[in-house]
Structure 1
Amino acid sequence: MSDADIAAERAAALLLEARRARPRAPLAPLPPAVAPADEGAGYAAQRALARRLGADPPAGYKIGATTRQMQAYLGLAGPAAGFVPREGLHAAPAELRFDDFFQPGVECEIGLRLGRDLPPGPCSRAAAEAAVAEVFPAIEIVERRYGPDLAAFGTPSLIADQVFHAAGVLGAPATDWRALDLGATRGRMWVGETLRGEGHGRDLLGHPLEALAWLAGSGAARAFGGLRAGQVVFLGSVTPPIWLEGPCTVRIAFDGLGAVELRFV
C-alpha cells in the first residue's frame, strides 16, 4: 500500500469514527497530518470511506455546487461530488426520523438513473444524455456537520466526507423526459405550506445534463473507475439548502417532472 493509500485510509477511518460517535456538535477539522491535501487526495479518501461503508461501487453520486450561488455559499471554486450509499436512498413519499440526522437540510434536485456505463474522462453533453435511462424529481438530505467555518474544515476534507450528503428521496420517473426542456424546467420547494425557494434546470452548469457530463470527467469518476448503469445521480440543487428546525413536511415540484414529498417525524 502506497503512502497516499495509507493517508486516504487514515482520513476515512477518522471520518467514519466521528460519524458513528454521532456528536451533537460539528465535526472538527481532520488533523493536519491526516487531512487530504488536495482534491485528488480528497476523492481517494472518499473512496476509502465508501469501502468501509460497504458502498463500493456506490448506488450513485451527488453533485454539489453546480450553481454559482451554491459555490459561493460553500466556498468552492467549482462543483464537487460525493458517493451515495444504497441504504440512504428512499422512494417517495418517504417518512424519516428527524433525530437520525445532524442539523439536516433539504435540497431541490433533478435526479436521474443511468442506463449505460460512462467511463471516467472527458464527456460531451450528448454522450451523457445518451447514457440516461430515467429522469425524476428528487430531494437530497444534507447535514450541516462542518460548522460555520468551511474553510477551517477544508475543501479536500469536505470532498472526502461526501460533500454534506446524508440521504435522498427519489420521485417517480417522468414519462417521455427527452421531450422536456430540462434547462427551462422550474423547481420549487415548500416546507410545510411555505414556499422556500425556486430555480431552473439551467442553473445547473447551464443545463442538468452538463452536470452529468462534468461528473463523468470528475475526480469522483476517476477515483471510483467511472459511472455505471443503474446508478442514481443527484445533479445538484436549484435552490440553496433549506436548513430545518424540527419535524416537518418537505415538498418539491418540477414543471414536467412531477413532485416529491418527504415527512420528517
Structure 2
Amino acid sequence: MDNYPFLDSQINFDFMSEFSSFLNEVAKGDYTYKFSTDQIFPSRAELIEWVRKIAFDLGFAVVIIRSDTTTGEPERKTFILLGCERSEKYKPDVQPSVSGTRKCECPFRLRGKPKGQSWVFKVMCGYHNHELAETLYGHPFVGRLNVVEQSILVDMTKSQDTTYKTNKYRLLLLEIVRVTSIGLTFIAVFAFFSSERQNNFTWALERFKGLLLTSKGGPRVVVTDRDLTLMNVIDNVFPETYQMLYTFHIMKNVKAKCNMLVDNVEAWDVLMEV
C-alpha cells in the first residue's frame, strides 16, 4: 500500500463516509431525548399514559413487555418494562396483523419503577430500527379506550333506554356490530347523536370506514332495521355493500300487519314458524 498512497486515502475516506452515514441513521432513529424527563408520576397508569401519548405523536405504539410486583421474595422487585409494539422477533409463517405491522426486534425500551408512592422511569434504549408511522389514527392498538373513556362509555351505555332511544344525556345511540368468520359478534363502533340526521350518520360511517384498514370497498353486507336515512347514507359511503334487513324487524312488521287478518291461533302459530 506504500506504493499507492492514494488508495489508502481513498479507503479511509470511504470508511469515514460510511461510518458517518451510519451515525446519522442511528441518530435519526434515536428518540431518547423525547422521553428524557425528571417527572414523577402519581401512579403506574399515569406513567404509561404519558409515555403512550409521546409515542403516539411520534408514530409508534408502546406495549408492556414485562412487569412484576414485589411479593416479599428478595429477588423480586416491582417494575414495568415498556417497548415498541414491533419489539418481538418477526415470524414469517404468522399472518400479519390488521394494522400491517411486522415485528422486527425493535430495541426501544423504557423501564419504570416505584419511587415511594409514585412512579419514575428511565430510557434503556431510545432507538428504533424501523421507520415510524406517519399517522396512527385507525391503528387497532392505539384506538383502545383509556380508563376514563371506558368509564364514560359504560356510564352512557347503562343510561341508554333502547326502547325509546333516550338516556340521561338525551342522545341517540348508533351501535355497529361486526361478525367474525366463526360467527362471533363484537362491537365495532359506538356513536351518540343529537338527532338522526343524514350528516350525523355520514360522519359516523366515515369514521367507521377509516378503521377498515383491510377492506377497501367496506363490508360486504350490512344488516339494518330499515332506517331509510341510514340506508341512504350506507349507499353513499359504502356503494358496493349489499344491504339486508334484520329478521326480527321483518317479523315485527308481519305481526303488526297480519295480526288482524288471521283470527285462528293455530294458523297464526304456523305463520310465525314460516
TM over 0.5: no
What's the TM-score, normalizing by structure 2?
A: 0.24
Q: Which structure is higher in helix share?
A: 2
Higher relative contact order (CA 8 A, sep 6+): 1
What's the TM-score, normalizing by structure 1?
A: 0.25
Quick check: which has more Rg, 1 or 2? Answer: 2
Q: Which structure is higher in strand share?
A: 1
